[in-house]
Amino acid sequence: MQNHLLKNLILFILLGVNAVVLAQTPIDLKSYKKNGSIVSVDNKRLTINWPAGRAGNGKMILDLDKAKPLFKSIQLGNTKSFKEIASDLDPVFVLRVGKRTLSPSSAGWDVFFDRVPTRPYTTNLISFDKLKTKVFTSGSQTIVQISEMSSTSFKGYLEITMYNGSPLFNISAVMTTKNDSTAILYDAGLVNKKQLWENIAWGDVHDKLQIEKTSVDDVSKNLEVKYRTVIGENRGGSLAVFPAPHQYFYPLDEAFNLKFTWRGKNYLNLIPDYGMGIRQDPIGDKRYVPWFNAPPQTKQRLNFFCLISENKAALTLAEVKKYTNGDSYVPLKGYKTMASHFHNEFISDVVLSGKPVPEYPEFVDVFKKAGLDIVKLAEFHGPGHPKGPDSIRLKELKTLFDQSKRLSDSTFLLLPGEEANNFYGGHWLAFFPKPIYWVMSRSNETPFVANHPQYGKVYHIGNKEEMLKLLEEEKGLAWTAHARTKASTGYPDKYKNEDFFKSETFLGAAWKPIPADLSLPTLSKRVLNLMDDMANWGLKKHVISEADIFTVTHQNEMYAHLNVNYLQMDKLPNYKNGWQPVLDAISNGKFFVSTGEVLIPSFNINGKGAGETLKLNKIDKTTIKITLNWTFPLNFVEIISGDGNKVYRDRVNLNNTQSFGKQSFSWPVNLVNRKWVRIEAWDIAANGAFTQMVWLK
């Protein structure tokens, strides 16, 4: 009898212990290695203390009790004294799931001409259950994974990453689906059941700080902001929420500011608590709205960044702005910045329409404040008359040249250009080193070139052979716009054997992040893959960046959709003398492409730079030397090379880097039997830069 009672008592105790264990979230610390951060566990609470640079130390206390808010406390201070910035916060994610068009004629997963929100889609809150937790380190990063998360066909986990050297952390829902043909959008943020924030602050589109008193009764509101940031402020300090500056913005024709942040309670009637965060407008600019790709079994990172500070919102916003250099492209000694492919249509819509012509147009001010030294236009994309009649076409060109000259000065070049879209196939851009009068049609009675009494030399072009001849005679350049997508689907592949494409007048192609895929640690690979393909075709081609944007205003979210070419030039040419040095730098590959946050001040392989040819023997040792500047911590550098058939990739992990650095690197690399090599560098927010080819012999 006593033995029976004892057995029952032991069984009861064991069941109780198991119940306690099951009620707690297991914490796996096996992959955690000390990297400057300190991780401790106290019952259901996980504490991460990490070095936060000048801000001191950051401390995050995570409550793994399923009934409690996840972020028990977020603090800043030192080992002796911490100040609480925020408490009792929960991360929230809203996932929209739609259907992707995958027709080969629309470029498959590289599609742009898709209208996802015109078809049925779902909008759901992602559920979060604290089942198990893993803590691990990756270089100077400390990462916490908590599972699981789910919504419709997607499942995954929450991931929180702290970055040594900065009061910065990232919150991500890493989600995967088995379904094919899926396109997604997401909104995200932080919520609190109480009135945590005294104020919500943001920079408006006029760059003025707005501060709003909060109330638990505030119904959610979408905010039109600059710098993509919303800030919660209280007595202890402030916390900024913002997305990856480029990756979060799927490609559109327009850069309209679609109110990319939100604040308040009952957001989308899905989140009852008071919160603030980032958002996407599902209908975009109401034209082509492709959303993000979500191929099956890919890990989609639905993420946002947080930056904490003991200061008020104004100073915190100033710290956030440093990560994008105030949304501008910083000067770099020995380089000039150039952006290309803008359909602003200032000539047709303003100058030739009879409207008052402003002495200093807004779009020029936008470009200058973005740090652009050179802007190449792509006018007359819709309203122009490229094929004539001559009386209209030549007047349009004369007006374009006159206005470009008027608006250029010693520090800024506004250069005429067009998206020609005739003769070659697909869409392509033409660029001449001086004003050239040409009409994109020719009758049998009209000569190829003639002298016009008012405009001087005028060309009439009737076919691809004459187009090539014009480019050769006037030292012009052409390149494929939005290659392999949009109206260039299938190009330049379809004309890769044509004489005009093999000619030195055909530069190559232009890069813009189309499509968008949140599972990639980089921006779009579409044209970067083409860059490698063209080199393996045996052609010495280059890839220039393009914006492909229509409206250009201060109100727009320009920076998210911009990219830039850093051309190796010591000074700008004078407009009236022509701008041949600009075309020379481009055609010789003397430039790198950047989103702005990662720069490549110098790069060579055994002393040879981009665009140059390096002669190698089989016994030669090959060393890559590169200098990188960055704002967000770097993620990796990839060394890409090819042998004429295959592409090789060697990745160098740079996860030990911290925010705001500059460093020179040297790496040995085996390039035996390779014909070309180039470099890409990417940071933790998928911002990056890439060089042009070094050719190998």
In a domain, 543, yes or no: no
- Same structural domain, 317 and 366: no
- Same structural domain, 259 and 382: no
Of 289, 323, 357, which closes a domain? 323
In a domain, 158, yes or no: yes
- Same structural domain, 240 and 132: yes
- Whether the link from the prior residue into 361 is cis, omega within 30° of 0, is no
Mean pLDDT, rounded, for 447-469: 98
Q: Output phi, psi for 632, to 5 deg.
A: -65, 150
- Same structural domain, 48 and 114: yes
Mean pLDDT, rounded, for 420-439: 97
Mean pLDDT, rounded, for 663-676: 96
- Same structural domain, 315 and 346: no
Residues 126-137: tens digit of each pLDDT: 999 999 999 999
Domain count, the chain: 2
Structure tokens at 475: 């030292």
- Same structural domain, 472 and 357: yes
Report the pLDDT value the prediction gives residue 124, as an integer from 0 to 100.
98
Q: What CATH number should be reported for the domain holding residue 97? A: 2.70.98
In a domain, 648, yes or no: no
Residues 100-132: tens digit of each pLDDT: 999 999 999 999 999 999 999 999 999 999 999
Of 301, 323, 345, which closes a domain? 323
The structure tokens 């004539």 sit at 388
- Same structural domain, 66 and 151: yes
pLDDT at 13 over 80: no
CB 347 within 8 A of CB 354: no
In a domain, 38, yes or no: yes
Mean pLDDT, rounded, for 306-311: 98
**CA 485 – CA 532 distance, rounded (Å):** 17
Residues 321-349: tens digit of each pLDDT: 999 999 999 999 999 999 999 999 999 99
- Same structural domain, 90 and 190: yes
Of 297, 323, 349, which closes a domain? 323
- Same structural domain, 371 and 303: no
- Same structural domain, 353 and 412: yes
Range of the domain at 508: 335-523+568-574
pLDDT at 196 over 90: no
| Contacts with 251 (C-beta within 8 Å, 6 or more apart), sequence order | 112, 290, 512, 513, 514, 515, 516, 561
pLDDT at 372 over 80: yes
CB 592 within 8 A of CB 690: yes
- Same structural domain, 296 and 444: no
Report the pLDDT value the prediction gives residue 382, as an integer from 0 to 100.
86
Mean pLDDT, rounded, for 683-694: 98
In a domain, 109, yes or no: yes
Report the pLDDT value the prediction gives residue 618, as an integer from 0 to 100.
76
Confidence tier at 21 by pLDDT (50, 70, 90): very low
Confidence tier at 96 by pLDDT (50, 70, 90): very high
- Same structural domain, 356 and 432: yes
In a domain, 83, yes or no: yes
In a domain, 511, yes or no: yes
Residues 596-621: tens digit of each pLDDT: 999 999 999 999 999 999 999 877 78
Nearest C-alpha neighbor of 87 from the set 61, 51, 57, 49: 61
pLDDT at 23 over 70: no
Residues 379-391: tens digit of each pLDDT: 999 899 999 999 9
pLDDT at 437 over 50: yes
Residues 169-189: tens digit of each pLDDT: 999 999 999 999 999 999 999
In a domain, 450, yes or no: yes
CA angle 603, 605, 610 (to 5 degrees): 55
Mean pLDDT, rounded, for 570-591: 98
Report the pLDDT value the prediction gives residue 668, as an integer from 0 to 100.
95
Residues 624-666: tens digit of each pLDDT: 999 999 999 999 999 999 999 999 999 999 999 999 999 999 9
Report the pLDDT value the prediction gives residue 78, as an integer from 0 to 100.
85
Mean pLDDT, rounded, for 213-239: 95
